[in-house]
Amino acid sequence: MRMLSAVTLLAASLACGGAPERTFINVGTAPPGGAFFVVGTALTEVLGAASGERQWQVTAEGTSGSQENIRRLTQGDLDFALSNSAITYFAVRGGEGWDRQYPMQTVMTLAPNVALFITKANSGVRTIADLKGKRVVIGPAGAGFEYFVKPILEAHGVRYEDFTALNATQAASVDMLTDGSAAAIFIGGAIPTASITQAAATMDLHYIPFDDAARAKLSADYPFFAPATIPADTYRGQTTEFQGLDVGSMHLIAAADQDEQLVYDVTKMLWEQREQVVQKHPAGRAINPKNVIRDTGTPFHPGAIRFYREIGIWPQ
């Protein structure tokens, strides 16, 4: 059984006529250096500051990423978490290496996770096919990036086993590209991604393109993939528009058995304070009527649906 939820403790306090007890809400993010950590911290700061009489104490917890977050939500160690919607998609279904089905539900769809392979301009790697036989960083250990990297490779005629896959955080992967211990890195997040900005500032980069037909097929085969454009001059040396790929939008998730009222309250507060989120990170712009309810293959939590219906953005 899950631990007694924070909202239940709050209700009990109110029923006794006393002042609301402090409510602790723990949100799983990801390692520092990537967008999940920054956006997750922004969300928790906004929730904590806006909670008012609720007296929420909201903490962002750095984790290894989506896979750890999903497992810990199931165990009751986290109340909410950020996840890549591609990884959640497979976890909910118990496929692609998951030992069973993990009952996760979406609270809100957030910013696109626009990721790509980058390499040094003089590395000789020009296409995804050129990654064969190379050392390539594909994300932090335990984060589950292979769930969306494998389909991308397969769509380009490359197997995951065709190169040496390395694990590292975004910050560490940039260091590995810099010192030559990796030929290429798979990296991304909300646009702009701080680690790509850092890499572009210190070396000349080549942004490895996706094949147009492969992008179209991936978007047709999986609900979490979607074409995404990186505007020209987003990163130094990227002088033309890059036809990228949303490899699974970040989304805020909760366990299916999380208290409905708590999910409703968190959804409502983030929606009403979305401009405050934008001030902390541009990814907050994704909290808008069109994007926040976007279906990426994981069902929405009833508490979130109730709020979206109230404000008239949930499809009838």
In the chain, where are the structural domains located? 6-111+249-310, 114-246
Place of tokens 């810099």: 178
Mean pLDDT of 256-271: 97
Q: How confident is the model at residue 283 (pLDDT cuts 50, 70, 90)?
A: confident
Residue 206 has pLDDT above 90, yes or no: yes
Residue 6 has pLDDT above 60, yes or no: no
Fold designation for 114-246: D-Maltodextrin-Binding Protein; domain 2 (3.40.190)
Residue 240 confidence (pLDDT): 96
What is the tens place of the pLDDT at every residue in 138-160? 988 877 888 899 999 999 999 99
Per the CB < 8 A criterion, the answer to whether 73 and 104 are in contact is: yes
What is the tens place of the pLDDT at every residue in 35-69? 788 899 999 999 999 888 788 999 999 998 899 99
What distance in Å separates the CA atoms of residue 202 and residue 57, rounded to the nearest whole number? 39
What distance in Å separates the CA atoms of residue 146 and residue 142, rounded to the nearest whole number? 10
Mean pLDDT of 162-178: 95
- If one compares 227 and 8, the residue with the highest pLDDT of the two is 227
Residue 130 confidence (pLDDT): 98
CA 231 to chain centre: 20
Place of tokens 């190379």: 134
- Between CA 269 and CA 275, with CA 273 as vertex, the angle to 5 degrees is 155
List C-alpha distances in Å: 212 to 1, 177, 206, 238: 47, 26, 18, 18
Per the CB < 8 A criterion, the answer to whether 21 and 9 are in contact is: yes
Q: How confident is the model at residue 20 (pLDDT cuts 50, 70, 90)?
A: low
Alpha-carbon dihedral angle through residues 6, 9, 13, 15, given to the nearest 10 degrees: 110
Q: What percent of the chain has pLDDT over 90?
A: 78
Token pair of 217, please? Answer: 């097929």
Residue 296 confidence (pLDDT): 96
Q: What percent of the chain has pLDDT over 70?
A: 93
Residues paired with 243 in a beta bridge: 229
Whether the domain at 6-111+249-310 and the domain at 114-246 fall into the same CATH topology: yes
- If one compares 18 and 94, the residue with the highest pLDDT of the two is 94
Residue 312 has pLDDT above 90, yes or no: yes
What is the tens place of the pLDDT at every residue in 88-128? 999 999 977 899 999 999 999 999 989 999 999 999 999 99
Token pair of 110, please? Answer: 């957030």
Residue 15 has pLDDT above 70, yes or no: no
Residue 3 confidence (pLDDT): 45
CATH class given for the domain over 6-111+249-310 = alpha beta
- Between CA 257 and CA 86, with CA 66 as vertex, the angle to 5 degrees is 90
Residue among 219, 220, 240, 218 nearest 231 (CA): 240
Mean pLDDT of the chain: 91
